[in-house]
Amino acid sequence: MAVLQREYGRRALLQQIRLSGRIPRIELADKTGISRATVTTITAELLQSGLIEEVPRADGGDARRGRPRVDLKIRGAARLVAGVKISQHRLSLVLLDFEGSQLATLETDLPAPVLSPQQMAEAIRTAVARLAETAGRSVEEVSGVGVGIAGLVEAGDGFVHWSPSLTDRNVQFGAVLAAELGRPAFVDNDANLVAEAERLFGLGQSQSDFIVITIESGVGMGLVLGGELYRGSRGCGAEFGHTKVHLDGALCRCGQRGCLEAYVADYALLREAAIVPGADPTAEPAKRLEALLKAARSGEPAAKSIVDRAGRMFAMGLANLVNIFDPALIILAGEQMQFDHLYADTVLGAIRTSIVQVDKPPPEVVIHKWGDLMWARGAAAYALDQVSDLALAEMGDHAA
Ligand SMILES: [Zn+2]
């Protein structure tokens, strides 16, 4: 078997086993189109490497016809991975085994919302060590750490062009992290990881073209086209939050003007909240935001106009996305109730009236409230994928 063919075969079979949960060899051949003989050879190698294991078939198989009574599954104990979600004030982490079962979770506060790359890496190392400890394991046993961070990220080599969580621009953050952790680290844009998790485990499983919009302190987007995450040529694609919605408009924290985020994000709302009667400029940001949204709901005109404009800008941006990509599904993923005004019926209605009208229903818009731990799960799923590739590479070119 040629080397490339073998590599392809191993990867395809491992992926199919992961996707299926438990699967007999014969079905693996049917599902992947790989010949039964090759399936037998490769699964023997995967078994010997300890990445998969045989388990008795649930229904016992058909012994009378001499069929094997075993299924193949991923061997949970083969590897350990951690997923980390960096949000504004804290880190959320999960520890998964190689099968994807959750072994431990952890949430911990960050010393400050913006840190130097080295400080952030140290905070992550401390948190991963505590996470592993919770499960009675050590950092050294973790085969890889996936990290989701907001901003412009080139996932392949963990290069962060810009992130609201880091003091520096243009950082080889993956390398900084790997050096600090002493383990392989995989960094991606956090919204991309949510889209990946939706594609693998969530609402995107049955869709080949869908868009995930994440709303937190910023606005993120993950774009899945033809069943694959689209990253753009520099890893900076699908930056919905920084699409321009206003000529010479409000200043965005990315440094440019007129970005959608500069109208929709919490910091944008807070910038204007001071003009609302009764606003307390000395209160905590979260309290000021809460007061603004409450005033808007009670019909206070200044507050209402700020919040309504955010909703209209958001609807316009989404309608533009629909007009460009014609997705089957848009998933609005955000946890915090504070963004409920963006999910209002008036906003969803405004999207519908602004998209190109054809004789078919508009794409479905669903709201999927993700906790930070689910984002961390997305990061861990990315790590699982990368760690699987490393494990396959370790197997080398030769048959076991
Ligand atoms: Zn911007």
Say yes or no to pLDDT of 181 above 90: yes
In the reported structure, the alpha carbon of residue 236 is separated from the centroid of ligand 1 by a whole-number distance in angstroms of 12
68 vs 12, which has greater pLDDT?
12
What confidence tens digit (pLDDT) does each residue in 209-231 have? Answer: 999 998 877 888 999 999 888 98
Is the residue at 208 inside a domain? no
pLDDT of residue 135: 96
In the reported structure, the alpha carbon of residue 7 is separated from the centroid of ligand 1 by a whole-number distance in angstroms of 41
Same domain? 25 vs 51: yes
Pairing status of strand 144-149 against strand 185-189: parallel
In the reported structure, the alpha carbon of residue 241 is separated from the centroid of ligand 1 by a whole-number distance in angstroms of 6
pLDDT of residue 400: 44
Q: Considering only CA atoms, which of 336, 307, 316, 217 is closest in space to residue 260?
A: 316
What confidence tens digit (pLDDT) does each residue in 156-165 have? Answer: 889 999 999 9
**Mean confidence (pLDDT) of the chain:** 88
Same domain? 253 vs 159: no
Say yes or no to pLDDT of 382 above 70: yes
Is the residue at 223 inside a domain? no
Neighbour tally for 129: CB within 10 Å: 17
Domain boundary among 45, 74, 103: 74
Q: In percent, how much of the chain has pLDDT > 70?
A: 94
Same domain? 291 vs 356: yes
Same domain? 62 vs 103: no
Say yes or no to pLDDT of 4 above 80: no
Same domain? 93 vs 38: no
In the reported structure, the alpha carbon of residue 257 is separated from the centroid of ligand 1 by a whole-number distance in angstroms of 7
282 vs 122, which has greater pLDDT?
122
Same domain? 303 vs 246: yes
Same domain? 16 vs 105: no
Is the residue at 234 inside a domain? no
What confidence tens digit (pLDDT) does each residue in 316-353 have? Answer: 999 999 999 999 999 988 765 567 778 788 888 888 88
Same domain? 98 vs 172: yes
In the reported structure, the alpha carbon of residue 355 is separated from the centroid of ligand 1 by a whole-number distance in angstroms of 24
Same domain? 190 vs 286: no
Q: What is the total count of domains within the chain?
A: 3
Sign of CA pseudo-dihedral 232, 238, 241, 246: positive
Is the residue at 396 inside a domain? no
Domain that holds residue 111: 78-194+374-391
Q: Give the model's confidence band at 63: pLDDT under 50 very low, under 70 low, under 90 confident, else very high.
A: low
pLDDT of residue 68: 57
Same domain? 67 vs 99: no
pLDDT of residue 41: 94
Is the residue at 125 inside a domain? yes
Domain holding 123: CATH number? 3.30.420.40
Is the residue at 222 inside a domain? no
DSSP 8-state code for residue 275 = T
Question: Among 56-65, 152-161, 175-184, 370-379, which range has the highest average pLDDT?
Answer: 175-184
Domain holding 45: CATH number? 1.10.10.10
pLDDT of residue 49: 95
pTM to 2 decimal places: 0.81
pLDDT of residue 343: 76
pLDDT of residue 107: 96
318 vs 201, which has greater pLDDT?
318
Q: Give the model's confidence band at 115: pLDDT under 50 very low, under 70 low, under 90 confident, else very high.
A: very high
In the reported structure, the alpha carbon of residue 255 is separated from the centroid of ligand 1 by a whole-number distance in angstroms of 6
Domain boundary among 57, 74, 91: 74
Same domain? 177 vs 246: no
In the reported structure, the alpha carbon of residue 267 is separated from the centroid of ligand 1 by a whole-number distance in angstroms of 12
Is the residue at 31 inside a domain? yes
pLDDT of residue 364: 87
Domain boundary among 74, 91, 107: 74
Cα 125 to Cα 138: distance, rounded to the nearest angstrom: 11
What confidence tens digit (pLDDT) does each residue in 272-290 have? Answer: 888 888 788 888 888 888 8
Is the residue at 216 inside a domain? no
In the reported structure, the alpha carbon of residue 348 is separated from the centroid of ligand 1 by a whole-number distance in angstroms of 23
Say yes or no to pLDDT of 398 above 80: no
pLDDT of residue 64: 60
Q: Are 184 and 128 in contact (CB under 8 A)?
A: no
Task: State how far the alpha carbon of 206 is from the alpha carbons of 110, 151, 152, 190, 288, in Å.
Answer: 37, 28, 28, 22, 41
In the reported structure, the alpha carbon of residue 259 is separated from the centroid of ligand 1 by a whole-number distance in angstroms of 5
In the reported structure, the alpha carbon of residue 249 is separated from the centroid of ligand 1 by a whole-number distance in angstroms of 11
Least confident range from 295-304, 371-380, 390-399: namely 390-399
In the reported structure, the alpha carbon of residue 168 is separated from the centroid of ligand 1 by a whole-number distance in angstroms of 16
What confidence tens digit (pLDDT) does each residue in 81-94 have? Answer: 999 999 888 999 99
CA neighbours closer than 13 Å in the CB half-sphere of residue 26: 6
Same domain? 263 vs 300: yes
- Mean pLDDT over 246-252 rounds to 92
In the reported structure, the alpha carbon of residue 321 is separated from the centroid of ligand 1 by a whole-number distance in angstroms of 17
In the reported structure, the alpha carbon of residue 115 is separated from the centroid of ligand 1 by a whole-number distance in angstroms of 20
